[in-house]
Chains A and B, each alone.
Chain A
């Protein structure tokens, strides 16, 4: 079975079966958040897992998508179309800033991307005439139930959102898996492991990095647009430094090398805080401790560790 087909089948099956565990709309909401996070993390897998670049500013792209969706309808662009406009905007911004900053390495790249995220955050909080300032703005809602009603299915809004996001995630993961096993993806992985060797084979290292950066920005932007539509409200928090860190952490915790890691990382870090509410004021301590423990015990992330467990089981 090709890796793409396998990913498609596994992820689709998981997403189809998951609702069996959802007793209420609240669980669907968590499900939707997991899926939206999975989407931005998948983009990060392309960036970190494929070409090996660290970004601490991806929330900036996420917010570009979210605010495109929030702001543009007032200028006559239909909400659905804003997802596309946001994605194109994020791609252009990524291309523009990526050129100079992707020359930087390691921690220098980290601080440059972090600075980018901060700048987006600042613009969103200070330009209140456009963005509503730190308190955010309302997003024009869309009727997500319509397509289902067309098929004669009566469905709650949150559940409709779950299926829409599930489709988006499956598409996102299939695209990323396709990429991994394609000429362009091979070039990315080659750059990751040795940029001198990659260059000696004619691979334009800067361009390859930029391509991955743009792709990951588009993923984040689409995820941002979806969250804005789903929440019907956006605030500059979407661009917050801590949100960037969150995307990064999900990626690494899940295992940056595979798209499965994206789903696992997003699932754990989205649902964990919900479970930890029972610890009340110890919540943060628990959360931090779990993060440390997971990374110490499973350096490559959860997905590879789980895969290893399975293959051992098979033997």
Chain B
């Protein structure tokens, strides 16, 4: 059981308040989504959770332990993984190698053994390859394992990042717009994937613009606007909050939103 708790997170950039008093909890086995208009501070929030930014105030807790300000790789060691809104793919490496890199924490790390090609290092490599293959299959990229990542399509890269995060076996996974730029079919596949990851027991946090997707798979939604949390609850609650609809889509968009959210 893993839970992530944010307490009163706030951060400013050059006097501009990017986040202000944001608190929530995400639990394992659930998909917690963060939604809000562009510039609401969603990705900034992700960067604080994953240790890239330091919050000015507030705390990040994993299972009750204060992890605020820990380095990203230490947070990963605590079982956190993420994908990126602007893809962060290792383009010169093969798809398989990309995912194998995700096995880092499961590998025995001894650089001398690696250089001398000792059996322990090779065994490690084999095991990582098997795990990575499995993860690639799970996201439907089993066929392109040996292609250079740079040759893959955008949709494939999105899934590659998911596979890479998956293969860390993290208990807390953050997805930053995993379906952005994907077509309906791909979107659907990613949906199912994320649901299944959550039902496998991980705590999933999701940023997504595709409302259909958010409403379908989230158990819990947090709505941000201008750096503040303006609503929180089940999809039902959020959907019904007129304040959210207005803040999120503006008055003009409200009608369309009604249609989309219906």
Residues of A within 8 A of B (CB): 4, 174-176, 178-179, 181-187, 189-190, 192-194, 196-205, 211, 215, 257
Q: Would A202 and B168 be within 8 Å (CB), given that A183-B107, A197-B84 are in contact? A: yes
Q: B77 — nearest CB in chain A belongs to which residue? A: A202
Complex Cα gap A74–B167 (Å): 55
Complex Cα gap A271–B82 (Å): 49
Q: Is the CB of A194 within 8 A of B88?
A: yes
Answer whether residue B102 sits at the interface, using C-beta atoms and an 8 A cutoff.
yes
Q: Would A201 and B104 be within 8 Å (CB), given that A175-B115, A183-B124 are in contact? A: yes
Q: Is the CB of A182 within 8 A of B115?
A: yes
The contact string, 1 if C-beta is below 8 Å from chain A, for chain B 104-116, is 1101111100111
Answer whether residue B125 sits at the interface, using C-beta atoms and an 8 A cutoff.
yes
- Closest CB-CB distance, A69 to chain B, in whole Å? 23
Identify 14 residue pairs between A and B in the complex whose beta-carbon atoms are under 8 Å apart, listed by A's number: A4-B117, A175-B115, A178-B115, A178-B116, A182-B121, A186-B101, A189-B92, A190-B101, A192-B90, A200-B80, A201-B76, A201-B81, A201-B101, A201-B102
Q: Is the CB of A182 within 8 A of B114?
A: yes
Q: B79 — nearest CB in chain A belongs to which residue? A: A202
Answer whether residue B91 sits at the interface, using C-beta atoms and an 8 A cutoff.
yes
Q: B103 — nearest CB in chain A belongs to which residue? A: A183
Answer whether residue B5 sits at the interface, using C-beta atoms and an 8 A cutoff.
no
**B220 CB contacts on chain A under 8 angstroms:** none
Complex Cα gap A205–B51 (Å): 13
Complex Cα gap A186–B72 (Å): 18
Complex Cα gap A182–B122 (Å): 7
**B121 CB contacts on chain A under 8 angstroms:** 178, 182-183
**A183 CB contacts on chain B under 8 angstroms:** 103-104, 107-109, 114, 121, 124-125, 128
Complex Cα gap A203–B71 (Å): 11
**B164 CB contacts on chain A under 8 angstroms:** 197, 201
Complex Cα gap A193–B104 (Å): 16
Q: A203 — nearest CB in chain B belongs to which residue? A: B104
Answer whether residue B73 sits at the interface, using C-beta atoms and an 8 A cutoff.
yes
Q: Is the CB of B168 within 8 A of A190?
A: no
Q: Is the CB of A196 within 8 A of B81?
A: no
Answer whether residue B100 sits at the interface, using C-beta atoms and an 8 A cutoff.
yes
Q: A212 — nearest CB in chain B belongs to which residue? A: B111
**A179 CB contacts on chain B under 8 angstroms:** 111, 114-115
- Closest CB-CB distance, B161 to chain A, in whole Å? 8
Complex Cα gap A218–B117 (Å): 18
Q: Would A200 and B76 be within 8 Å (CB), given that A181-B125, A182-B114 are in contact? A: yes
Q: Would A202 and B115 be within 8 Å (CB), given that A184-B109, A193-B91, A197-B90 are in contact? A: no
Q: A4 — nearest CB in chain B belongs to which residue? A: B117
Q: A196 — nearest CB in chain B belongs to which residue? A: B88
Complex Cα gap A185–B82 (Å): 22
**B107 CB contacts on chain A under 8 angstroms:** 183
- Closest CB-CB distance, A14 to chain B, in whole Å? 21
- Closest CB-CB distance, B183 to chain A, in whole Å? 25
Answer whether residue B231 sits at the interface, using C-beta atoms and an 8 A cutoff.
no
Q: A46 — nearest CB in chain B belongs to which residue? A: B115
Answer whether residue B93 sits at the interface, using C-beta atoms and an 8 A cutoff.
yes
Q: Is the CB of B81 within 8 A of A200?
A: yes
Q: Is the CB of A187 within 8 A of B88?
A: no
Complex Cα gap A179–B112 (Å): 9
Interface centre among B100, B117, B124, B128 (most CB of A within 10 A): B117
**A189 CB contacts on chain B under 8 angstroms:** 90, 92-93, 97, 101
- Which residues 165-186 in B have Cβ within 8 Å of A in the complex? 165, 168
Complex Cα gap A193–B92 (Å): 8
**B101 CB contacts on chain A under 8 angstroms:** 186-187, 189-190, 198, 201, 203
Complex Cα gap A189–B105 (Å): 16
Complex Cα gap A196–B82 (Å): 10
Q: A182-B125, A186-B104, A197-B89 are in contact. List 20 more A-B contacts (CB 8 A).
A: A178-B114, A178-B116, A179-B111, A181-B125, A182-B121, A183-B121, A184-B115, A186-B93, A186-B97, A186-B100, A190-B90, A192-B90, A193-B91, A193-B93, A194-B89, A200-B72, A200-B165, A201-B101, A202-B105, A203-B76
Q: B113 — nearest CB in chain A belongs to which residue? A: A182
**B52 CB contacts on chain A under 8 angstroms:** 196
Nearest 6 A/B pairs, CB to CB: A182-B114, A202-B76, A197-B88, A199-B72, A183-B107, A202-B105
**A182 CB contacts on chain B under 8 angstroms:** 114-115, 117, 121, 124-125
Answer whether residue B27 sits at the interface, using C-beta atoms and an 8 A cutoff.
no
- Closest CB-CB distance, A177 to chain B, in whole Å? 9
Interface centre among A190, A194, A198, A200 (most CB of B within 10 A): A200
Q: A193 — nearest CB in chain B belongs to which residue? A: B90
Q: Would A190 and B93 be within 8 Å (CB), given that A182-B125, A196-B72 are in contact? A: yes
